[in-house]
């Protein structure tokens, strides 16, 4: 009996000490869950790759599903990666074997391509002229998504799990299971610098102007560094408790003036960081699909809205608005 009482007290204590905020609104966009998804830069639109009913394109504020997007007619596509161009006119969806460029105004698929290798991650360049693809064959490529063909190949020594581009498309950042994050000049294909971690690099992200980079490795740390000098300006240690539970950042986004970083974790947690002081400004816990089942959800993408609002896409099928 005493053991049961102690257990109840511990649960009550932990719950009462949890200062995490809750969403102010939630939109269900998938009946069971999501493989891959992406928010637009202004967090007004989202591409969603559902587990059971393929791809879709959403206008978030009016909660409107605009288009259904699948790579083959009358078939549902397992979309593992998605992206929306900066101005919102184009979107990319990819499964491991092919990719499609979509016109977000008409909803039409403009280009369909077989992948040059197994796709692990993808990012659209400016005006959707090219895409950066992270591949399982130990490389990332600049792929001409309008005419087809590889423009540059960026070589690693293991799988490239994560990629990102600066908004102007001049810089590419790649993260690999070879423990490195590499910065590249897109025009020349030249490698500019390497940041070494002590484990697989699972997430990279560039600030909109390309001056700051985030690289996150499994069982190590999250580093924020200047792309011009490689000087580390912030270090978020991934502590032992998180490591034991396999927790890490799996999504992130810089704000427009490089003062804030929004991160999403694998345990339904969203956090807002002050980059100058590396202090945590806010924390939210996204809800489970069922409060009575021991299920969790990964935060697939995060974004900044207007007037101190934030958005997060959870793998259990919801887009959440945070305040």
Q: What is the pLDDT of residue 290?
A: 75
Q: What is the pLDDT of residue 310?
A: 98
CB atoms within 10 A of CB 75: 8
> What is the spatial distance between Cα 84 and Cα 69, in angstroms, rounded to a whole number?
14
Whole-prediction pTM:
0.91
Q: What is the pLDDT of residue 242?
A: 52
Q: What is the pLDDT of residue 241?
A: 47
Specify whether the CB–CB gap between 298 and 314 falls below 8 A: yes
Q: CA triplet 207, 79, 150: central angle to 5 degrees? A: 65
Which residues are CB-neighbours of 196 under 8 A, at least 6 positions away? 179, 180
Residue 247 has pLDDT above 70, yes or no: no
Specify whether the CB–CB gap between 97 and 115 falls below 8 A: yes
Using alpha carbons, list the distances in angstroms from residue 38 to 86, 116, 124, 137, 312.
12, 22, 11, 24, 9
Residue 220 has pLDDT above 90, yes or no: no
Q: What is the pLDDT of residue 311?
A: 98
- On whether residue 204 sits in a domain, the answer given is yes
> What is the spatial distance between Cα 19 and Cα 285, in angstroms, rounded to a whole number?
9
Task: Retrieve residue 151's tokens.
Answer: 């423009």
- On whether residue 3 sits in a domain, the answer given is no
Q: What is the CATH number of the domain that holds 51?
A: 2.130.10.10
- Side-chain-side CA neighbours of residue 270 (13 Å): 28
Q: What is the pLDDT of residue 20?
A: 87
Q: Residue 11: exposed, middle, or buried by beta-carbon count in 10 A (0-12, 13-18, 19+)?
A: exposed
pLDDT category at 291 given cuts 50, 70, 90 is low
> What is the spatial distance between Cα 166 and Cα 44, in angstroms, rounded to a whole number?
20
> What is the spatial distance between Cα 140 and Cα 155, in angstroms, rounded to a whole number?
7
pLDDT in tens, 147-181: 999 999 999 999 999 999 999 999 999 999 999 99
Which residues are CB-neighbours of 52 under 8 A, at least 6 positions away? 30, 31, 32, 76
- On whether residue 13 sits in a domain, the answer given is no
Query: pLDDT: is 6 or 124 the higher one?
Result: 124
pLDDT category at 11 given cuts 50, 70, 90 is very low
Using alpha carbons, list the distances in angstroms from residue 53 to 49, 50, 66, 76, 115.
8, 6, 15, 6, 22
- On whether residue 15 sits in a domain, the answer given is no
Residue 5 has pLDDT above 60, yes or no: no
pLDDT in tens, 224-245: 999 999 999 998 876 544 544 5
- On whether residue 7 sits in a domain, the answer given is no
pLDDT category at 221 given cuts 50, 70, 90 is confident
Residue 7 has pLDDT above 80, yes or no: no
Please provide residue 167's backbone torsions phi and psi, each rounded to the nearest 5 degrees.
-60, -35
- On whether residue 279 sits in a domain, the answer given is yes
Residue 10 has pLDDT above 60, yes or no: no
Specify whether the CB–CB gap between 116 and 135 falls below 8 A: yes
Task: Retrieve residue 197's tokens.
Answer: 């971690």
The total number of structural domains that make up the chain: 1
pLDDT in tens, 296-305: 799 999 999 9
- Sign of the Cα torsion 140, 144, 148, 152 reads negative
Q: Which range among 11-15, 106-110, 141-145, 297-301 shows the weakest confidence by mean pLDDT?
A: 11-15
Give CB contacts under 8 A, 24+ apart, made by 21-24.
21/282, 21/283, 21/284, 21/285, 21/322, 21/323, 22/284, 22/285, 22/287, 23/284, 23/286, 23/287, 23/312, 23/320, 23/321, 23/322, 24/321, 24/322, 24/323
Domain that holds residue 236: 24-322
Specify whether the CB–CB gap between 323 and 309 falls below 8 A: yes
pLDDT in tens, 62-94: 999 999 999 998 889 999 999 999 999 999 999
- Sign of the Cα torsion 232, 236, 239, 242 reads negative
């Amino acid at each position: 009996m005493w053991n049961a009482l102690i257990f109840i007290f511990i649960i009550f204590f932990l719950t009462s000490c949890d200062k995490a905020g809750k969403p102010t609104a939630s939109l269900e966009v998938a009946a069971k869950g999501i493989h891959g998804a992406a928010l637009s830069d202004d967090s007004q639109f989202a591409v969603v790759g559902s587990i059971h009913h393929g791809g879709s394109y959403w206008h978030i504020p009016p909660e409107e599903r605009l288009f259904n997007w699948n790579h083959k007619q009358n078939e549902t596509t397992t979309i593992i990666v998605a992206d929306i161009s900066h101005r919102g006119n184009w979107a990319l969806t990819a499964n491991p074997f092919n990719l499609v460029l979509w016109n977000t105004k008409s909803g039409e698929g403009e280009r369909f391509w077989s992948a040059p290798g197994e796709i692990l991650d993808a990012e659209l360049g400016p005006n959707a002229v090219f895409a950066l693809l992270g591949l399982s064959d130990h490389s990332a490529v600049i792929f001409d998504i309008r005419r087809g063909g590889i423009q540059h190949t960026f070589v690693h020594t293991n799988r490239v799990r994560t990629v990102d581009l600066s908004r102007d498309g001049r810089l590419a950042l790649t993260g690999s299971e070879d423990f490195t994050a590499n910065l590249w000049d897109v025009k020349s294909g030249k490698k500019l610098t390497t940041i070494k971690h002590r484990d697989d690099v699972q997430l990279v992200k560039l600030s909109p102007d390309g001056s700051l980079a985030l690289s996150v490795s499994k069982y190590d740390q999250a580093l924020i560094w200047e792309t011009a000098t490689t000087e580390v300006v912030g270090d978020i240690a991934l502590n032992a408790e998180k490591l034991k539970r396999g927790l890490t950042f799996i999504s992130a986004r810089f704000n427009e003036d490089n003062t804030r970083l929004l991160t999403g974790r694998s345990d339904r947690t969203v956090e807002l960081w002050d980059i100058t002081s590396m202090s945590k400004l806010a924390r939210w816990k996204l809800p489970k699909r069922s409060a009575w089942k021991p299920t969790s959800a990964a935060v697939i993408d995060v974004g900044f809205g207007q007037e101190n609002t934030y958005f997060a896409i959870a793998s259990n099928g919801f887009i959440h608005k945070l305040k």
